[in-house]
Amino acid sequence: MSLSGKTDNPSFVLRGIHDTVYEDRPIPELGPKDVLIEVKKTGICASLPMNIPHGRIGNFVLDKPMCLGHESAGYVHSVGSEVTTHKKGDAVALEPGATCMRCEYCKGGKYNLCPDVIFAATPPFTLGTLCRYYKLPHELVYTLPDTCTLEDGAMIEPLAVGIHSVAKLGKFQTGQNIVVFGAGPVGLLCMAVAKALGAKRIIAVDINAERLAFAKSYVATDIFQPPPPNPNEARPDFSKRAADAMMSELHIETRGWDAIDLVIEATGAEPCVQMGLHLVKPAGTFVQVGMGAPNLVIPMYLVAGKELGVFGSFRYGPGDYPMAISLVARGLIDLKPLVTHRFKFEEAVKAFGVTQNGKDEDGKSAIKCIIDGPE
């Protein structure tokens, strides 16, 4: 695969609910410190299909046509006059959020919280990476080593979410135990990060038996499928019962070497949040990655009584992309098993549908869908 040399910029655009179209948009003009990338591979984020039927993700509401896509890799097409870090033809991964680099959050090492971030395929901005040409500041473009494919490059974005959650916020250490709620792409990548960091035990929790089986074959040491709730059982009661059942079945202790040091919650489901707070050991860490309903019932007495460290995790920050690329390049994380479906650029609607449904028309389970091109 190489640079196409084409001068059009076909883009996959969301205009409204259930309304997508291909448009030829202008090629972005480079500033002196910018890099123009010819996009070759784009992964479909689990949150993006929500844009198509609902026209929103949380507080981000679609009010104008927007190009979709933010998990991408490609080749450098051209660079600005002051760029010395990249050259034409370099294979690169894209970090799709340009920040101001001046506010208190940017200067304080938390640029993912910058109020002026321009993030691909996130309203109110209209740019996304499902196009031929995408522009970024040079510091957000990462050269891929020869041991990484372009598909690996497209997967660096969700892997960086796992790095941020497990390594940076969770401060996970060799020999520790982790529970991850949700065996979708983000949950699986959090598990992969924990394994790369030397986890003693990686426990995957999901209601989908097929996803749990994949997690076990991929990186999980143990799996748990919660029991169904009893009729008229209150959620907090169900969550406590399910957590107790899990601890008994998997021989999890409340303290010591066999206790849970870190819980990653990647579903946003209220029972999972509640279960996780029951499971984590005193003075342990709970990281919320999944975004669910806006308001949940939280057993705050566990947070206070155990002196838990509870963190919200939002995207990624300084050092997360380099660490993700390093772990993949050194063979400590294998991203290839996660790519279950591949589509042409002209099949983008189908790719989003398969991601949203969780399986293709033949019933094959979908973990990560990759769109090629445009060519």
State residue 47's pLDDT score: 65
State residue 59's pLDDT score: 60
> Are 71 and 43 within 8 A, CB to CB?
yes
State residue 119's pLDDT score: 95
State residue 50's pLDDT score: 47
Could you tell me the pTM of the whole model? 0.95
State residue 58's pLDDT score: 58
> Are 31 and 159 within 8 A, CB to CB?
no
Strands 56-57 and 60-61: antiparallel
Identity of the amino acid at 282: P
CA distance linking residue 367 with residue 359, whole number of Å: 8
State residue 120's pLDDT score: 95
Instruction: Identify the structural domains of the chain with CATH numbers, from first to last.
Output: 10-147+331-372 (3.90.180.10), 162-312 (3.40.50.720)
Residues with pLDDT less than 70, the chain: 1, 46-62
The residues near 310 (Cβ < 8 Å, ≥ 6 apart) are 285, 286, 287, 288, 303
State residue 17's pLDDT score: 77
